[in-house]
């Protein structure tokens, strides 16, 4: 019969030579030499011995149950981050990223959130309170608008496996997928999140259901809180939509999508120099000094024809 022999090399009661003798004399025997001095295997060698015996008897070895936590995951993304970087240049964009991170981290501290990852285009964080996570996302969204940044945010709640002190797993994937489905300026949550905050006073608008690649089932989605306010603390207040000509509005629309002056010229069949003049006129009329501000202003006035 197949036989497993377990023996500690430093065993003072039964020398290792005894175990080796058994392994030689018993057909099909396998010797496991433990690198310890324990005679009784249920002391320091217990986990290793149990694992070896389980694999010997069943052919498989089960690992320890993973450490998990129930958390609400928040994922954010700066819309048109790449276009902002191009418009502003590295130095000014990096400064804006630093200010973005400062706003987010201040809000996380206020709402007891834990930062998991932060990059140029957004952050991932976890909370042990779902309502606090939603309110944090709404505050971050509104405060970043003052910097000329619009974000989309997604939240989902579920079990997260802890690996290396950091959560990971399906809950983070779902939160990221929910975020990707959000419109600019929208805080989108899964139905799980909405159900967890019944009675909190938070408002939600139904955004239907959809499936996510790699995640089974259909997920109900809801927009949290009031729509993003058109709060303006910059010279935008002095600018009325009617102050731009029809052609300038066309240029501004393409500019807000991240197109360069050369690309805009190709779209509108104009010379690049003419587009340059239009861009300068737009900035002068609106009282802005960057394309980022134009894009933000346009987003706030999308309802104006």
pLDDT value of residue 295: 75
- The first and second tokens of residue 20, run together, are 């080796």
- 143-174 pLDDT per residue, tens: 887 777 889 999 999 988 877 778 888 899 99
**19 phi/psi in degrees, rounded to 5:** -65, -40
pLDDT value of residue 240: 47
Q: Is the pLDDT of residue 3 over 60?
A: yes
Mean pLDDT calculated for residue range 276-280: 84
Q: What is the mean pLDDT of the chain?
A: 84
32-70 in b/e burial notation, b at 16+ Cβ within 10 A? bebeeeeeebeeebeeebeebeeeeeeeeeeeeeeeeee
pLDDT higher at 256 or 77:
77
- 288-302 pLDDT per residue, tens: 656 777 777 777 676
Q: What is the total residue count of the chain?
A: 305
Are residues 61 and 54 in contact, defined by beta-carbon separation less than 8 angstroms? yes
Q: How confident is the model at residue 44 (pLDDT cuts 50, 70, 90)?
A: confident
Strand partners, 5: 31
How far, CA to CA in Å, does 300 sit from each of 136, 230, 245?
A: 22, 6, 18
Q: Is the pLDDT of residue 95 over 50?
A: yes
- 45-63 pLDDT per residue, tens: 788 888 888 888 988 877 6
Mean pLDDT calculated for residue range 60-83: 83
Are residues 175 and 74 in contact, defined by beta-carbon separation less than 8 angstroms? yes
- 253-271 pLDDT per residue, tens: 888 777 778 888 999 999 9
Percent of the chain scored above 70 by pLDDT?
90
pLDDT higher at 121 or 234:
121
Highest mean pLDDT among 21-30, 75-84, 222-231: 21-30
- 7-18 pLDDT per residue, tens: 999 888 899 999
Of 197, 162, 137, 132, nearest to 70 (Cα)?
162
Percent of the chain scored above 90 by pLDDT?
40
pLDDT value of residue 187: 96
Mean pLDDT calculated for residue range 101-108: 95
Q: Is the pLDDT of residue 233 over 70?
A: no
pLDDT value of residue 253: 87
């Amino acid at each position: 019969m197949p036989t497993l022999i377990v023996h500690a090399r430093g065993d003072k009661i039964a020398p290792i030579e005894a175990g080796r003798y058994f392994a030689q004399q018993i057909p099909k025997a396998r010797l496991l030499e433990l690198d310890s001095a324990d005679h009784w295997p249920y002391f320091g060698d217990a986990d290793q011995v149990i694992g070896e015996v389980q694999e010997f008897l069943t052919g498989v070895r089960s690992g320890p149950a993973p450490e998990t936590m129930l958390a609400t995951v928040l994922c954010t993304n700066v819309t048109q981050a790449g276009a902002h970087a191009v418009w502003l240049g590295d130095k000014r964009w990096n400064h804006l990223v630093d200010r973005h991170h400062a706003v987010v981290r201040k809000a996380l501290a206020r709402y007891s959130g834990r930062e998991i990852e932060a990059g140029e285009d957004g952050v991932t964080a976890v909370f042990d309170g779902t309502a606090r996570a939603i309110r944090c996302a709404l505050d971050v969204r509104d405060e970043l608008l003052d910097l000329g940044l619009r974000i989309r945010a997604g939240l989902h709640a579920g079990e997260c496996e802890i690996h290396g002190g950091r959560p990971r797993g399906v809950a983070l994937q779902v939160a990221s997928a929910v975020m990707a489905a959000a419109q600019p300026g929208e805080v989108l949550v899964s139905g799980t999140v909405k159900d967890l905050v019944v009675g909190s006073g938070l408002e939600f608008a139904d955004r239907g259901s959809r499936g996510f690649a790699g995640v089974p089932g259909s997920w109900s989605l809801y927009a949290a809180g009031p729509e993003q306010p058109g709060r303006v603390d910059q010279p935008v207040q002095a600018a009325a939509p009617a102050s731009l000509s029809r052609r300038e509005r066309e240029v501004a629309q393409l500019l807000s999508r991240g197109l360069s002056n050369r690309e805009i010229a190709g779209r509108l069949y104009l010379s690049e120099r003419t587009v340059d003049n239009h861009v300068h006129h737009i900035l002068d009329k609106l009282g802005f000094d960057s394309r980022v501000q134009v894009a933000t202003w346009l987003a706030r006035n999308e309802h104006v024809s």
